[in-house]
Structure 1
Amino acid sequence: MTNYTLNLRGKLLDLSQPRVMGIINVTPDSFYAGSRLGSETELLRQAERMLAEGADLLDVGGYSTRPGAADVLPEEEQERVCRAIGSLVRTFPEAHISVDTFRAGVAAAAVAEGACLINDIGGGELDADMFTTVARLQVPYILMHMRGTPQTMAGLNQYEDLLKEIIDYFAERLNKLRALGVKDIIADPGFGFAKNIDQNYLLLQNLRLLTVLNVPLLVGISRKSLIWKKLGITPEEAGNGSTVLNTLALTEGAHILRVHDVKQAVEAVRLWKSFRNNSKKAAFDTGF
């Protein structure tokens, strides 16, 4: 695995080993009921548990991006995430906090409140000011692949060549970001965003092709419909399936897992590392 690092307010996060990002939803309509937080007490309790379980990053979002989600006014989204981030930073000053937003103004306000990373599902397409804002703030940026908006993306999954189009999408935007002086960029192929179930599995199977981009890869598969629809269950029952696909993502080159269930993901990383290290040792010992 390539030795990438992220500069998080002067502290380097080493990505030579996979990292885990815990999902903190301060929304009333997240697709997974177990991630909805209704009070500051619940927020801090969940964050404390995730950090104790080994989360390297906490990703705070105030706008549900499930297919067909209702729109949220920028002022409401900003108030949600800034209140949550402020509380997290005061309570857990050593924690690395990410803001999950496609709005440049919300991102800037969140960074001022203490966030050290921007996670943009829109890939700069939903706010023309996002790239220049990231360049001005000089914080790491997660660039995700999506088409349309959360309200329209489900009907925009027609591709001539899914993998080529995703790589071209990233290549174009990475060039723009680098020209603006953005240094730390993570690519998220956007599982579930403008992709049907079969396309999601094709993408996972070929995730390693994205290493040609020469940036770390984030995978967000946790409890998504490619698991629960395939198994005929609910998001609440999709924890085991999430661990299975997260492990496959690690095998295919993921550097960061974005998850609802931190303990299970951290355990998956530990076991995957043991498997990989022992496999290398066995090959060395036998001369292969």
Structure 2
Amino acid sequence: MHHLRVFEMLLHERSLTRAAKALDVTQPALSKTLSRLRVYFNDPLFVRVSNRMEPTPKALELARPIVDVLGSMRALRVDHAAFDPKTSARTFQFCVVDAGVIKLLPPLVERVTREAPHVRLRLVQLEGEHLESWLETGTIDFAMGSFPSLPKSIRRQFLWLEEYVSVVNRGHPRLSGSPSLREFAAENHVLVSTMGTGHSHKLAEQAVESAIPPERIVCRVPIFLAAAIVAKHTNAVATLPKSIATVLADDLNLEIIRPPIRLPKIDIFQYWHNRFHRDTANRWIRSVFESLFRERGHRPRT
């Protein structure tokens, strides 16, 4: 089964390095497995073309039968493996931008520790180009955020509607409350860029860029917490999702201000692949997220 999973991941990733990372094995170990597959099937299976490992005709011929075998084995696990959160020692892996970590992780850890004391959580660094394949192959159990480009084979459940606000150091010498556009644009800004993740935060990033002179964007960072810390220590402005701004405002002594620009509202979902829809463990962790974070009475925008 491990050998077939290596084949499946190489088929998705077309890279030894990325496949090894997704499977959480070393590249030499993965190369050794590929060598055994080559001997077994008497074919190179994947050959290097430029910077990619492209499948041979034989590999393409094997792809569907191998995917079917793996799918059948996963179905057997789903149908016959009972899951009891009180006794299970399963590790759930998921992807989320750091904004989600700040909002989700404290109540999630408290809930899981209480209801499933042996269950463990592992957050995987988000990489948009691999998100679909990681969900399909079970490399991660689910993802959280706003990824509108994911295909229909990826199921989703709406959780909440995210808005944006700005934060500055409390006692900022010029900004507070509801500044004018002129006052807002005259300040230095630290911008969060989630480039490469496929996350809808890019809409907020673009809105700030369109309203602020380029010379006033003094720093770009990949995570929201870093932007808040820069704002704390430099009097710069950071524009963040409201749900985490409220947490960081207390923790870092920041002041929330109303930005005088039009910022998007983003639907936040949890995502999982259709092949794991009936998996009892997957259903349990999804139900935990739903009970903790779903806004009742709200619907995703269309």
TM range, smaller chain: under 0.3
Higher Cα radius of gyration: 2
Q: Which structure would you say has the larger RCO, counting Cα contacts within 8 Å and 6 or more residues apart?
A: 2
TM-score (norm 1): 0.24
TM-score (norm 2): 0.23
From the two aligned structures, give the one with the greater strand fraction.
Answer: 2
